[in-house]
């Protein structure tokens, strides 16, 4: 999973992000999930705060941020839904 903050007045484009990730990263390094945060939280020592992100996982019922899933059949990142989450948990999607 990658957690990113978009520049002001920018929108996430699942198709162009997929193209970029697909051409620039090897398969094992491509994020299967992208989480869009309005602000990236830091610790007092300026490290990224990751513990809460790990605990929340990728369940759309828990996460209030926008979350996207890498759909390799459609060649784009799609908005994560409860149906996709259930399919991943039931191993219908190979990660």
CATH number of the domain bearing residue 14: 3.30.300
In a domain, 55, yes or no: yes
The answer to whether residue 40 scores a pLDDT higher than 80 is no
Q: How far apart are CA 26 and CA 44, in angstroms?
A: 34
Structure tokens at 37: 């945060």
Please report which confidence band the pLDDT of residue 91 belongs to, taking 50, 70 and 90 as the band edges.
confident
Please report which confidence band the pLDDT of residue 49 belongs to, taking 50, 70 and 90 as the band edges.
confident
In a domain, 24, yes or no: yes
User: Rounded to the nearest 5 degrees, what angle is found at the Cα of 23, between the Cα atoms of 78 and 86?
Assistant: 25
- Each residue's pLDDT tens digit, 24-39: 999 999 999 999 988 8
The domain total for the chain is 1
64: DSSP letter: -
In a domain, 95, yes or no: no
pTM score, whole prediction:
0.83
Structure tokens at 46: 């300026």
In a domain, 65, yes or no: yes
Domain carrying residue 48: 2-90
Structure tokens at 11: 């929108």
Beta strands in the chain (DSSP E): 2-4, 33-36, 66-71, 76-79
């Amino acid at each position: 999973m990658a957690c990113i903050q978009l520049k002001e007045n920018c929108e996430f484009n699942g198709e162009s992000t997929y193209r970029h990730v697909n051409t620039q990263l090897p398969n094992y390094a491509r994020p299967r999930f992208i989480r869009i945060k309005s602000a990236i939280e830091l610790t007092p020592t300026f490290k990224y705060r990751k513990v809460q992100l790990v605990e929340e996982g990728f369940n759309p019922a828990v996460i209030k941020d926008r979350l996207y899933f890498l759909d390799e059949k459609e060649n784009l990142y799609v908005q994560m839904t409860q149906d996709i989450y259930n399919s991943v948990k039931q191993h219908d999607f190979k990660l």
